[in-house]
A and B are shown apart, each in its own frame.
Chain A
Amino acid sequence: MDRDKIIDFLQYRFVAIGFSLVLFVIFVSSIVSSGGINWGIDFVGGVKITAKFEQDVTIGSIREVLNKNNISGTVQQIGKEELNEYIISTKLLEKGESAEASANILTNAINSSFDNVEVLGTETVGPAIGEFLKKSAIKLFGIALLLMMFYLSFRFEVKYSFGAIVAVVHDILLSFAFCGFANIEIDIPVIAAVLTIFGYSVNDTIVIFDRIRENNQIQTKQTLFDIVNKSITQSISRTLLTSITTLFAVLALYLLGGEVISGFAAVLLFGIFIGTYSTIYIASPVVLGWEKMAAKKKKSE
């Protein structure tokens, strides 16, 4: 690539904002049409059983048993097909029912319909703790955002801090929406994944902002628009390279890490794309917009 040539990334900024909006609308409407956010049992309470069946069973035959017993749940096969291992999970069977009672109903239903079921693991979460975890997750994002804002305004000008935060919020919202779209249950590992995207996205943004700040100091004749374009151009190979190496690692996790964290890895995969994209097309345009507004204000004064 010819390094001296500046690529005009920013000419597509409005297209990009439109793209984000459309993506978000698609994701959200798919969530609405599938009946709301798919909270995992960590947040609403419920039972999850990992079981190994001696006889050959299919997702269908397990589901049939659940239906017969009036249990609404999901069934997922894990590992190799011949292992006959499944994860069966159900939200709280009835409102107000204790998680333990639900666990008993579920295990009884399975045990009475299949021979020699070996339970490899169970998870039971009561509704109260689910509510508690939900609250602390929300608190967590709040605290992380505040700390980030604080640090950024300490190290950069306010407009940069604002741009980074807008990009991060954009990434968080889209990541959660993506979970709904891809039918990934929002459980605690997914929260961790989104927070990691948070860190990754800001990291990416800062590298470019750092460049903008540096170029701003040497070149005074150029407009901010040109400086931003120049800075993105200068950092683009780093941005892409880091995305690629991280992508390698997360892809390995997604493909080989086992069923238990595949949801987590899928969200991370999406997050790496969106985090890279938002750095260029969300964070930087917001800084430009801020600058324009400030200039207008000055003029009118």
Chain B
Amino acid sequence: MSRGLIYRVIFILVLITFAVILILPTVGEKTMKIELSENVTQQQLQRISERFSSDDFQVEQKDNAILVSGINLSDAVMNEVRIFPGVIDAKLLPHWAESAVLAKKINLGLDLQGGMHLVLQADFKQMEKKLGKTLSEKEKTELSRQALELLRNRVDKFGVSEPSIRPRGNDAIEIQLPGVKNPKSVKKAIGTTGRVEYRLGNDKYTQEANQWVKENLEGGMLPDDPAELRRLEEKIADGIGLPDNMIILFYYERDDQSNKLYPSYPIVLQKDIALAGDDINKAWVAPDEYQQLAVHFTLTPDGAAKFAEVTSEKNHGKKMAIVIDEKVRSAPVIRVQISTGQAIIQGDFTREEVHALARIIKEGALPVDLSIIEERTVGPSLGQDSIESGVKAIMVGLLGVMFFMMLYYKFSGLISDIGLIINIILMMALLSWLGFTLTLPGFAGFILTVGMAVDANVIIYERIKEELKSGKSARMAVANGFDRAFWTIFDANLTTLIAAFVLSQFGTGPIKGFAVTLFIGVLCSMFVALYITKTIFEIITSSRKIKKLSI
């Protein structure tokens, strides 16, 4: 073997090793940690172990948790176990390859893992009618952006893992919520209008509530999950004997790193609303005395009177909570009476939020009416079925193609079969590395690629056969065959790449998945045929004195 050939072999081996490591988090053994409740019963434990009783899983119990490992663990299994009685939480632990080489699990599309896909369209026509003027494109984009920011806050409430909310064009918003169990409640929450209100705080009970949290909650950490938070609310109210005219809400702060809102501490407020959104006349955004963006507003005469009353001397020193969508976002202390009917809201807001807030105050709602124009919900079991049938179809198709190639091309067919397997590994590695999402049509693209991937090999082999027929040596025939086939393969595949590229520009998710897998598949198959199988052939024809090629 020449030195160049050896280098190539090393390069290929390194590449394949790297690709295999990249796909480990997807196809390798995974581990799931199931956290158990302290008073889990024997019966409940048995149900869990029965679920994982088959030979596919290894189960190990550790203190208050069960570790399950196996190949067939998925998000769907995780979600299934999560709601078992006696289980607090279930989590798939990150695979070692994920931290070592930035490998990622191949994301599953909503059609495979279940979830909800919504497209909301902004109704600018109605708004223009109301305003009596036409909106510029820039204004429309700005409005959509604000609506998007508001929606993000609302969706955050559901504690969905990895929601995706993004603009589609300048008048629509696309929301994807994987694994949502109750689509109706999500739709309702998205559709309700935002609310801003002012409530007077109660220091005595706020203190007691915080004391209670400190004593009864481990580490004083509040849960993120809205349902759990609501339960906690009731528990605190019971614990401190909260009077009927008061409510507990939570003060929210923004985490600088993740830019997400999280509940920080409970705050007790008067049930009576001191000032509502419709008491406010005008609101605008301007910097405050600290050069922070803040919402300035003026009140209606009615509102001004109410505000003067609330800020009167008897309430000085008390807190005034600004509640947005049931979240306390700012709670300044009242120091002076404000009877001018002008005030300001300061707080830890992002630029988008300040604008959104001003908009909520002005309109008392989303900046523009949104209507659902597309909705797709897939239950987890349907998704699981699709994965199973997709994998089965790939396996059968793959075996069929491989068998046929061996039958027709004998030993050379075996080489192309090896190429086909390498091709699939490379494809999966690229898909997971680039963070693409696999959808059901993506599976179809995968299968189609399996069928078409051997095309390059077929073109080459037919050429080699011709060369052999014209009396060339095996070595020459291989060299000429690859050379002559190169441009044919290049031209032919480029057109498929064009079709796949155009298709990938077509908005909707699933089709994009199909196009991307097809695109990557064609690229990989070209590389495998023209580089890897070529190298294999060169090794064979160079190392031994081959007279006859089995083709």
Q: Is the beta-carbon distance between B400 and A249 smaller than 8 angstroms? A: yes
- Given the known inter-chain contacts A125-B373, A137-B506, please indicate yes or no for A248 contacting B441, CB distance below 8 A: no
CA distance A133 to B393 in the complex (A): 29
CA distance A100 to B371 in the complex (A): 10
Chain B contacts for A189, CB-based, 8 A: 441, 444, 510-511, 514
> Contact residues of A with B, CB < 8 Å?
3, 50, 79, 98-100, 103, 118-126, 128-129, 133, 136-137, 140, 143-144, 147-148, 151-152, 155, 188-189, 191-192, 195-196, 198-200, 202-204, 206-207, 210-211, 234-235, 237-238, 241-242, 244-253, 255-258, 260-261, 264-265, 268
Q: Is the beta-carbon distance between B441 and A245 smaller than 8 angstroms? A: no
Chain B contacts for A247, CB-based, 8 A: 451
B190 → chain A closest CB, angstroms: 13
CA distance A248 to B408 in the complex (A): 14
CA distance A261 to B459 in the complex (A): 30
The answer, yes or no, to whether B244 is at the interface (CB within 8 Å) is: no
B interface, by DSSP: helix, strand, loop or mixed? helix
Q: Is the beta-carbon distance between B408 and A196 smaller than 8 angstroms? A: no
A1 → chain B closest CB, angstroms: 11
13 contacts between A and B (CB under 8 A): A3-B469, A99-B374, A121-B377, A144-B498, A196-B448, A203-B496, A238-B455, A248-B400, A249-B401, A253-B447, A257-B393, A257-B447, A261-B443
- Given the known inter-chain contacts A136-B507, A246-B451, please indicate yes or no for A260 contacting B373, CB distance below 8 A: no
- Given the known inter-chain contacts A99-B373, A147-B498, A196-B518, please indicate yes or no for A261 contacting B119, CB distance below 8 A: no
Docked complex: B402-420 residues within 8 A CB-CB of A:
404-405, 408
Top-10 shortest CB links A-B: A249-B451, A199-B499, A252-B397, A246-B451, A126-B373, A249-B397, A258-B389, A199-B496, A248-B400, A124-B375
CA distance A198 to B499 in the complex (A): 7
Q: Is the beta-carbon distance between A120 and B382 smaller than 8 angstroms? A: yes
Segment among B24-32, B35-43, B303-311, B484-492 that sits at the interface with chain A: B484-492
A interface, by DSSP: helix, strand, loop or mixed? helix
Q: Is the beta-carbon distance between A238 and B405 smaller than 8 angstroms? A: no
CA distance A211 to B459 in the complex (A): 11
CA distance A1 to B128 in the complex (A): 74
Q: Is the beta-carbon distance between B448 and A250 smaller than 8 angstroms? A: yes
**Interface residues contributed by chain B, number (CB under 8 Å):** 68
Q: Is the beta-carbon distance between A3 and B491 smaller than 8 angstroms? A: no
CA distance A241 to B97 in the complex (A): 39
Q: Is the beta-carbon distance between A206 and B492 smaller than 8 angstroms? A: yes
Q: Is the beta-carbon distance between B514 and A246 smaller than 8 angstroms? A: no
CA distance A133 to B381 in the complex (A): 28
- Given the known inter-chain contacts A128-B121, A192-B515, A244-B404, please indicate yes or no for A238 contacting B459, CB distance below 8 A: yes
* Chain B, residue nearest A240 (CB): B458
Docked complex: B371-406 residues within 8 A CB-CB of A:
371-379, 381-382, 385-386, 389-390, 392-394, 396-398, 400-401, 404-405
* Chain A, residue nearest B187 (CB): A100
Q: Is the beta-carbon distance between B379 and A120 smaller than 8 angstroms? A: yes
Q: Is the beta-carbon distance between A242 and B381 smaller than 8 angstroms? A: no
